[in-house]
Amino acid sequence: MHDSPSRRTDTPSRTTPQGDDPTEARGFAAYRRVLAVRGMPSLYLVGVLARLPHVGGGLALTLYVVEGLGRGYLAAGLVTAALTVGIALGSPWRGRLVDRVGLRRALVPSIVSMPVLWTAAAFSPYPVLLPVALLAGLLAVPVFTVVRQAIGVIVPVHSRRAGFALDSVLVEASFVAGPPLVVVAVTQVGPEVALVAIGIGESLAGLVLAWLNPRLRDDPGAVTDVHSPDVQAPGGTATDGTLTQGEAVTTTRGGDRPARRRLLPRWMTPGLLAMYACSFGTAFVLSGSEVGVIAVLRGLDQVEFIAWVFAVWGLASGAGGLVYGAMRRGASSPLVLLAWLSLATLPLALATTPLLLLVLVVPAGVLVAPVLSASADGVSRRTEDRNRGEAMGWHGTATTAGFSLGAPLAGAMADSVAPWTAFVLVATVSGVLSLVGLGVLRRHRGRVAAGAAAGTAVSAPVR
């Protein structure tokens, strides 16, 4: 994993490792190729272990507020919301820091602060706990961003679909294992000890990631001057005044009209924004559906089936991710997969028995991991070295925002109307997002084609 300059090529992540067949592997041989890439097994293992304290943090805070401070679930929800907001706000900033100073230096604030903040949380009164949780989210170890960024660089392009799919399956495993470990810790040794352990675990995760130091750039030794006229935008379009996807308007080809203020950074392309919308929509429908499942089973007075439904859902998602990663390139785009996920979620509103809900959750579950892995792959392919960390950070923010909004909105529908309406709401919102995203990409491709035919300077095509 520690690549020396003497072993680098001009574009390492776009080339094929020595002895590797550049053609795409069929079926599950794709996973053997991914795991054969130097450093990938250790990266996946570290990713799973490093995510465990991360995914258990919200639950540990909830149990601490309820059990340790004797407050209600609303108060606990506000604390976990503060943690989530911190993570969402911190992801792009942490990614930008990785781009500018490198992974090891960017991880120092997390390694130092995590034990302090989580220990403070374990002994803080409720009013102090809210800002402490916010800071803990802001400075959390960016394990999701780092692992996915590394996959987009280390894994050869012909195996990248399988690389991201395997990561999505392992994320499911972390979410399955993390909460039970937190519950055991809270019940056996107390919520305060569990919070301290999470802080130490986060710090250790940062240390291990820093030691592993996976390559996060196509050319780790390159220093990019973003103001140079030779810098290329994604797809090969020069950034010396011609239209890029983040600009409000174009300049004329001859340069006789001054450029106007950009609304977005040059690298924030329509394709990238569509991937963020896809990530948001997937998390929105997933978190809202979780609330819907709980509301339906509580309404049926069958709460004992909640664990079974979630277990089947997780297994279906993992199986879907493995199958998707084994498929050959050219499968449906992330936005099309999101549209299918929305359609598969609607039938959950028809569940009138626990067994029927158990059956209906399988088609929706099968599509979860494929959409998440496809959107992460899409973000990676649409970014370059100098912005990849920040771009993956925004991907994490979009996903976190989807999880944060989906659950409360679905819960409000379930409370005010009926439990089944939660599924209708989240499926409708995610379906609309997928259609709007596809429309934006189609319109942009049309503009690119028209500009190319007219011979004017336009932005790079969306891949």
Per-residue pLDDT tens over the stretch 142-169: 888 888 888 888 888 778 878 888 888 8
| pLDDT band for position 235 (cuts 50, 70, 90) | very low
The pLDDT mean for the chain works out to 77
CA 363 to chain centre: 22
Return d(Cα 70, Cα 99) in angstroms, integer. Answer: 43
User: How far apart, in Å, do the first and last CA atoms of the chain sit?
Assistant: 29
Answer whether 38's CB lies under 8 Å from 17's CB.
Answer: yes
Tens of pLDDT, residue by residue over 111-147, are 999 999 999 999 989 899 999 999 998 898 888 888 8
CATH class of 270-452: mainly alpha
**Region class of 268: left (phi > 0), else alpha (psi between -120 and 50), else beta:** beta
Give me the mean pLDDT over the 172-196 stretch: 80
Residue type, 447: R
Q: Is the pLDDT of residue 443 over 60?
A: yes
pLDDT of residue 7: 36
Domain extent listing, the chain: 23-212, 270-452
Burial of 7 (0-12, 13-18, 19+ CB in 10 A): exposed
Tens of pLDDT, residue by residue over 268-319, are 778 888 888 998 999 899 888 888 888 888 888 887 787 788 888 888 888 8
Tens of pLDDT, residue by residue over 5-19, are 333 333 333 444 433
Give the predicted TM-score (pTM) of the model: 0.69
CATH class of 23-212: mainly alpha
